A and B are shown apart, each in its own frame.
Chain A
C-alpha cells in the first residue's frame, strides 16, 4: 500500500507499507520534484556554453567577450544543473535494522545498512550553516562519535521528517 502524505515545491513524501509476509517492512520515500524552469535554464546555459565554445574553436578568435561568455554560461549551467538525486528512502525492518537508500536519476543506488542493535536513538536536529538553518533527522549510533544523517543529500521540511522519526523511534525501542 502506498500513500502520498506530504508535498511541497521541492519534495514529496511517500509512506509505503508492505503486505503479507513483508508486512512489517516500512518504507519512507522523499522524492525530489523536477523544476521545469530549473531544467530549462540549465539546458539553456549548457546550449549557450556549447555555442560559445564552438564559436571560439571554429573561428579561433580569442576575444575577451567570448571567454567571458564561456565562463558565465558554464557557471550558469553548473549552478542550475538539477541535482542528480531522484529520491532518498528509509527502509525500516523492525528487529533487524534500517536501510538508508539514495536513488540517482542515472539509476545508481547507494545503500547503507544500520543494524537495529546499533541505533541508540533517532533525533530531530536543527542544523545551522553559515547562511541558513534547517531540520535534519539523524541517528545516534552505539560506539560512534558522530551522528548519522538519515537523509544525507536532501533537506526535506520537518513535517516530512516527523513521521519518519516516529517510525524510527517505534522500531528502535
Chain B
C-alpha cells in the first residue's frame, strides 16, 4: 500500500471496552485489522470508572478515555460545544485524517463528528441499530441523526435493512451509504472438540433480558417447547429487568430441572456456554445485525431466530431457522430445528463461518469507504450551511446556527491556542527486541 493510502483514523463512540457489546467489539476488531493494514488508529471514548487518560491495548491501539462522566445509559451529557477543545487537541496531536463515529445513540460520537466537520476533516458514520419513527425518543434521535448526516462524507450500515432504516430516518442519499456487515472472531468461537450427543437437546439463550431482546417471548415459548419435547433443556445466560419474569415462569411450570438460569455471563465465558448446547435461540424484536448469531454459528450451533431487521441477511438458510416474533411460530421453528440437528456438522459450519465472516474483510471494505471519503471535495462553511437548512423549517435554522457558533468557537480556539502550539504525538513502534530502547524514536523525533 502506498504512503498516500495510509490513513490516520480516529474512532469515536461512547461505547468501548471495558464495556461489552456489539458496538464495542466492532470498534475493537475493526481497529485491530486496520492497524494490521498499516493505518494508524486511535479510539476516543469517555472515562469508565477510574479508567481515564491514555491507555494502550493490543497491538498498540491507543485509547483516549476522556474524563467526561456518563450520565445516562453510558452516554456523556450532551453539551454541543463542551467537547470541542479536547476533540480538536486529539485531532491535531494525532495528525488525524479521518474521523469515524459509531452508533446513533452516542452523544460523544455526534459531537466529535460535528467538531471534526467544522475543522474540515472527512467524517464517516456507522449506524449499528434500527430505530422507529413514531415514539418521542425515536423522533428526537432521528432529528439528531439528520443533523449529523446532513454533512457527512460517507455512512456505513451493518445490513441492508439497517441502510434502508438509516436512509428513511436521516434523509441521506442512498449512494453515500455503504453496507458492511459485522464479523466474528472465529478463533475465539470454535466448536467443542467432541460432538455432543443428541439424546438430550440443549437450547442456549445468551442475551440481555430486556423487552427489545424478546424476553417476554421466551416466557411463552419455553414452557410450550418443554411440554412438546421432553428431551429438551434450556440454558439461559444473561441478566436484565425481565429476568424476574423468566424466574416466575420457571416456578409456575416447575421447570427448575429443565431451565438453567446462569445470570450475567462474562464475554470470555460466552463460548463455553455456547458449546454446551445444540441450538441457539434468538428472540429479538428488533435487530440491525445480531453478532450473537454469528458467534453461535461459529461455535457450530444451529440458530433459531425471529425474522426481524437485518437477521435474515446474516446466515445462509441451512444454518438458521427463521420465525415470526410470535410464540406459536417460534415453537414450530424450534421443532423444525430439532429435526434438522442430525444433519448439522459443527466443524463444517465453523469452517464456512471462517470464509463468510472475517474482520480482515470488513477492514478492507471499510478502507475502500475511507478512500472514497478522502476523494470528496473540501468545502467551506458557506457551502455546507444550505445542507443544514434543508433539515426542516425550524430545525434547519437551528442546526445552521449551531454550526455557525461551533465555527466561531473553533476560530476563537485557534487564536487562543494555535494548532502549531499543540504538540504532535510520535507514532508508537512496537519493539520485538526487549533490549531496544522503547523511547528512542520518541527522543530522536524531539531532539
Residues of A within 8 A of B (CB): 8-9, 124, 126-135, 157-159, 162, 165-166
Q: Is residue B67 contacting chain A, with contact meaning CB distance below 8 A?
A: yes
CB neighbours (8 Å) of A158 from chain B are 423, 446
Contact yes or no, A132 B423, CB < 8 A: no
- Distance between B410 CB and nearest chain A CB, rounded to angstroms: 14
A162–B85 CB distance below 8 A: no
Main secondary structure of the interface of A (DSSP, over half): mixed
The answer for the CA separation of A166 and B447 in the assembled complex, in Å, is 12
Known interface pairs A124-B439, A135-B423, A158-B423. Does A130 touch B447 (Cβ–Cβ under 8 Å)? no
Q: Does B366 contact A (CB under 8 A)?
A: no
Please tell me which one of the listed residues B67, B423, B443 contacts residue A157 in the complex, with CB atoms under 8 A apart: B423
Q: A132–B53 contact, CB under 8 A?
A: no
Residues 190-248 (chain B) with a chain A CB within 8 angstroms: none
**A130 close to B67 (CB less than 8 A):** yes
**Considering the chains assembled together, what is the distance between the CA atoms of A153 and B52 in angstroms?**
21
Q: Cβ of B409 < 8 Å from any Cβ of A?
A: no
What distance in Å separates the Cβ of B221 from its nearest Cβ neighbour in chain A?
Answer: 47
Docked-complex contact B54 and A126, CB < 8 angstroms: yes
Asked whether, in the complex, the Cβ of B53 is within 8 Å of the Cβ of A127, the reply is: yes
Pick the residue among A9, A132, A135 that contacts B86 (CB under 8 A).
Answer: A132
Cβ–Cβ contact A162 & B423, under 8 A: no
| A128-B65 in contact given A133-B89, A135-B423 (Cβ < 8 Å) | yes
State in angstroms the CA–CA spacing of A132 and B86 once bound together. Answer: 5
**Nearest chain A residue, comparing its CB with the CB of B418:** A9
Find out whether the CB atom of A129 lies under 8 angstroms from the CB atom of B423: no
Q: Is the CB of A162 within 8 A of B67?
A: no
Not counting A130-B67, A157-B423, a sample of 6 additional A-B residue pairs whose C-beta atoms are within 8 angstroms of each other reads A124-B442, A126-B54, A131-B85, A131-B89, A133-B64, A133-B89
Are B443's CB and A130's CB within 8 A? Answer: no
Instruction: Give the contact-size bracket for chain B.
Output: 20 to 34
Does chain A have a CB within 8 A of B68?
yes
Q: Please give, as numbers and ranges, the residues of chain A lying within 8 Å of B53 by CB-CB distance.
A: 126-128
Shortest CB-to-CB span from A95 to chain B, Å, is 23
Minimum distance in angstroms from A31 CB to a CB of chain B:
18
Give the top 8 A-B pairs by smallest Cβ distance, nearest first: A131-B85, A126-B54, A128-B53, A159-B446, A162-B446, A132-B89, A133-B89, A130-B67
Q: How far is the CB of B404 from chain A (nearest CB, A)?
A: 22
B93 on the A face (CB < 8 A): yes
Instruction: Report yes or no: A128 in contact with B66, Cβ–Cβ below 8 A.
Output: yes
Query: Is B90 at the interface (CB under 8 A from chain A)?
Result: yes
* Nearest chain A residue, comparing its CB with the CB of B67: A130
Please, which residue of chain B has its CB at the minimum distance from the CB of A131?
A: B85
CA distance A108 to B431 in the complex (A): 45
In the complex, residue of chain B having the shortest beta-carbon distance to the beta carbon of A6: B446
Chain A residue numbers with a CB within 8 Å of B93 are: 133
Q: Would you mind naming 23 contact pairs between A and B with Cβ atoms under 8 Å apart? A: A9-B421, A126-B425, A127-B53, A128-B52, A128-B53, A128-B86, A129-B86, A130-B67, A131-B85, A131-B89, A132-B86, A133-B54, A133-B86, A133-B89, A133-B90, A135-B423, A157-B423, A158-B423, A158-B446, A159-B447, A162-B442, A162-B443, A162-B446
Q: A127 to B93, alpha carbons, bound, how many Å?
A: 13
A-facing residues in B67-101 (Cβ within 8 Å): 67-68, 82, 85-86, 89-90, 93
